[in-house]
Amino acid sequence: MAQVGIDGATLVVEIEGMDKLWALKSRLEIPLANVRGATADPGVISESKGIRTAGTHMPGVITAGTFRVDGERIFWDVRDPAKAVVIELRDERYARLIVQVDDPRTTVGAIERAIHA
């Protein structure tokens, strides 16, 4: 699970609990200028994960870490697809962040308001 928040002009993603170990990350900071948008998307879990470069993938249990698909890096931290949020990025190490949050609708709303402010 992840906590996603806005700190000034920065999107902050804090990886929580044991997911830090599985994802091999504890925190990501992205300038809001590089965030294209966010959506709640439980269906994203059925997408190809590509090649795992760092992290863990146990189908139906957890997808966490860095994966490479079609030349793009994607960061995952999802156990429950119903709570998945996809954050689209530009000019960053990752093309997308796909994370599980407590309240996908609230998280997406906060991100969208911050990038359009």
pLDDT tens string 75-115: 999 999 999 999 999 999 999 999 999 999 999 999 999 99
Structure tokens at 35: 């965030």
68 Cβ contact list (under 8 Å, min separation 6): 50, 51, 53, 74
pTM to 2 decimals?
Answer: 0.95
pLDDT tens string 12-55: 999 999 999 999 999 999 999 999 999 999 999 999 999 999 99
